[in-house]
Amino acid sequence: MTPNLGDARDVNAAAVTSARHAGSAESAAAPVRIRSIVGGLAGNLIEWYDFLAYSIFSIYFAKSFFPSDKPTVQLMNTAAIAAVGYVARPLGSWLIGLYADRRGRKSALTWSVTAMCVGSLMIAVTPGYATIGVFAPVLLILARLLQGLSMGGEYGTSATYLSEIAPPHRRGFYLGFLQVSVVAGQLVALALMLVMQNVLFTSQQIERWGWRIPFVIGGALALFALYMRRNVTETEAFKQSARQTGPSVGQQMLQHWRQLALAIGITVGGTVGFYTYTVYMQKYLVNSVGLSKEISTLISAGALLLYLPLQPLFGLASDVFGRRPVLICFGVCCTFFSVPLFTALSHTKDPLVAFLLSFAGLVMLSGFTSVHMLAKTELFPARIRALAVGLPYALTTAILGGTTEFVALRFKANGHEQYFYWYVTAWAAVSLLVYIRMPETNCRKIAAIECVM
């Protein structure tokens, strides 16, 4: 049969027209996508600022809520309430993650930042013990509970939302900014404290009333994040999953128990590493290396600033080479170099050497922090993704992350601080074995696999 050239030309013309329409639609959708990504990241940054401001400023407001002549007792009581926020995170991950899978990512993120806003403003306006008695610490507990519930649902849902809204070929790059927003929230809270201490107020002024300012600012910023999130778009992945019928969420979670176990395995080594190289490092530089508090703070802040741009770069590497190789890079480095790194730190008194070693630890950590949440979102179907990603992370963080500093200090108190180096190594090795055996989750880097995104 002789080919019909007219029909062929019509087909080609139709294909070109279709491609042009697709390109136009993509171009039109790009600003909406960018606005949605910025809204998700800004909200995450503000929530981390609000959550961490409690711990940073607790040394100033402890006396207002707990009547005691002993500052240590006041701080212990305040720290106990701070722990309520961490204990509440798995519950928040369950509640908000389930809501995100049933009602939408946008709605869940809106409620998450609303809870954080209310919690921060409650802390800002709650009278002290001298005014309302025992109701002061009770209200503080309720406020911290709201913050914990919010934070528990925020991280997993934000990761899910960003993974679904980002361009498919650049998910790793965009998800890398999620960790940027986490550390930026820490740095903003710390920077505000330094400005208040050294520029704006005296210690007595901060202790009397100035400590309320960070929570007022946090509540106002949360309102801004709420406005931004009300204008973001819902993801197509959720819209498609909402039209599907099938087993209940509980049944699907049971069906994906292997992926849930894999998600925990992916997380354990990096969780211990994160709380070691970011949260505990400053105390290690003071207590073990012997540097001053001021120098240690500058070293930690400087290393964290350089750590920020590494996140999207490592995420971009996962777009090019796959999530698994980047995670394996972290696993190998943290397994084989944690002990030498901390041993070298313990023998130096040079601030520059301490800074370089601290930053080296953060470079190793970047292979995990930039990629792990994305790798987990790619393990699960959209109908259970927010819950299945957030809950294992929240549980692992509550159990291992919340105890990392305690374990380190306990080993030091017993005269065997070097055992903590091996503790970090052991958990990294567990995750390394998982990374070696896990499948690649970046569907663009593998063939003959259905992409659940």
Predicted local confidence at residue 79, as pLDDT: 61
Of the pLDDT bands very low, low, confident and very high (cuts 50, 70, 90), residue 12 is very low
- Out of 15-24, 73-82, 282-291, 360-369, the most confident range is 360-369
Average pLDDT over residues 199-216: 86
Of the pLDDT bands very low, low, confident and very high (cuts 50, 70, 90), residue 4 is low
Residue 30, pLDDT above cutoff 80: no
Indicate the angle between helix axes 402-413 and 418-437, nearest 10 degrees.
140
Residue 237, pLDDT above cutoff 70: yes
The answer to whether 153 touches 98, Cβ cutoff 8 Å, is no
Q: What is the pTM for the complete model shown?
A: 0.81
Predicted local confidence at residue 366, as pLDDT: 96
Q: Determine the Cα–Cα distance for residues 287 and 290; give it in Å rounded to an integer.
A: 6
Residue 2, pLDDT above cutoff 60: no
Q: Determine the Cα–Cα distance for residues 426 and 336; give it in Å rounded to an integer.
A: 10
Main-chain phi, psi angles of 373, to 5 degrees:
-65, -35
Q: Determine the Cα–Cα distance for residues 175 and 180; give it in Å rounded to an integer.
A: 9
Main-chain phi, psi angles of 414, to 5 degrees:
-85, 0
Residue 290, pLDDT above cutoff 70: yes
Q: Which two tokens stand for residue 429?
A: 């090795």
Total residues belonging to the chain = 453
Contacts of 106 (CB under 8 A, 6+ apart): 161, 229, 232, 233, 234
Predicted local confidence at residue 80, as pLDDT: 66
**Read out DSSP for 134-192?**
THHHHHHHHHHHHHHHHHHHHHHHHHHHHHHHS-GGGHHHHHHHHHHHHHHHHHHHHHH
Which region among 48-62, 159-173, 195-209, 282-296 has the lowest average model confidence (pLDDT)? 48-62
Query: Which has more pLDDT, 435 or 163?
Result: 435
List the one residue out of 223, 257, 242, 229 whose CA is nearest residue 161. Answer: 229
Average pLDDT over residues 279-289: 84
List the one residue out of 337, 408, 424, 393 whose CA is nearest residue 157. Answer: 393
Query: Which has more pLDDT, 429 or 398?
Result: 429
Of the pLDDT bands very low, low, confident and very high (cuts 50, 70, 90), residue 58 is confident
* Domain annotation for the chain: domains and CATH numbers: 33-244 (1.20.1250.20), 246-453 (1.20.1250.20)
CA atoms within 13 A on the CB side of 353: 12
pLDDT digits (tens, 9 = 90+) for 97-117: 988 988 888 888 888 888 888
Average pLDDT over residues 302-318: 93
CA atoms within 13 A on the CB side of 46: 31
Using alpha carbons, list the distances in angstroms from residue 92 to 152, 222, 248.
5, 18, 20
